[in-house]
Amino acid sequence: MIKVAVLTLSDKGSKGLRKDTSGLAIERLIKKIDAKVISSDILPDEKPLIKKKLIALCKKADLVLTTGGTGVSPRDVTPDATREVIQQEIPGIAEAMRLKGLKKTPFAMISRAVAGVRGNTLIINLPGSPMAVKENLSTILSILPHTIDKIKGSTAECASRKSRLLYPHPVKSKISNTIKRS
């Protein structure tokens, strides 16, 4: 079972001026994989607080999902804080989310979301909008168990039959079909 921590970054939410619906969206979606939310917190958009909390969450969670603060406004510091605590960036995760988002809105290209590893924990920044959370998290949900297994040291081959059964790729690409025919 994957232990998940949800961290909502919102000045208004942290003051009780706005109800957190993005964190709740994460909690609902994460149930689709073998995962359990062990922590859910709301903090203001303050980089030192975010860094401190991310470091603490990495000591108890396998996966930390943040929501909010991924844009370009002066208070959007979540990706900056995340970059300062991760030891290894996984750009493909954020790229996949942006690519999927671009199919719905051109504003996806200004997302600064980051994904990376600290110790044995995967940290992923999600947008602050509940709809964008659903779209982004749905895009990457199927790769999370395998990614976390690899972070924890699994030596199973990614292309092995067992791995394909446990983590089926949700979309068959035309490229892979062409390669198989060759």
Q: What is the CATH number of the domain that holds 120?
A: 3.40.980.10
Structural domain harbouring 73: 2-157
What is the band of 166 on the pLDDT scale with cuts at 50, 70, 90? low
How many domains are contained in the chain? Answer: 1
């995760």: which residue's tokens? 93
Global pTM exceeds 0.85: yes
Q: What is the dihedral of CA 58, 120, 68, 48, to 10 degrees?
A: 40
Q: CA-CA distances (angstroms) from residue 162 to 146, 171, 178?
A: 11, 18, 23
Q: What's the CA gap between 131 and 60, in Å, rounded?
A: 28
User: What 8-state DSSP symbol labels residue 156?
Assistant: -
| Domain presence at residue 181 | no
| Domain presence at residue 169 | no
What is the band of 158 on the pLDDT scale with cuts at 50, 70, 90? confident
Between β-strands 121-126 and 115-118, what pairing exists: parallel, antiparallel or unpaired? antiparallel
| Domain presence at residue 165 | no
Does residue 162 surpass a pLDDT of 60? Answer: no
| Domain presence at residue 175 | no
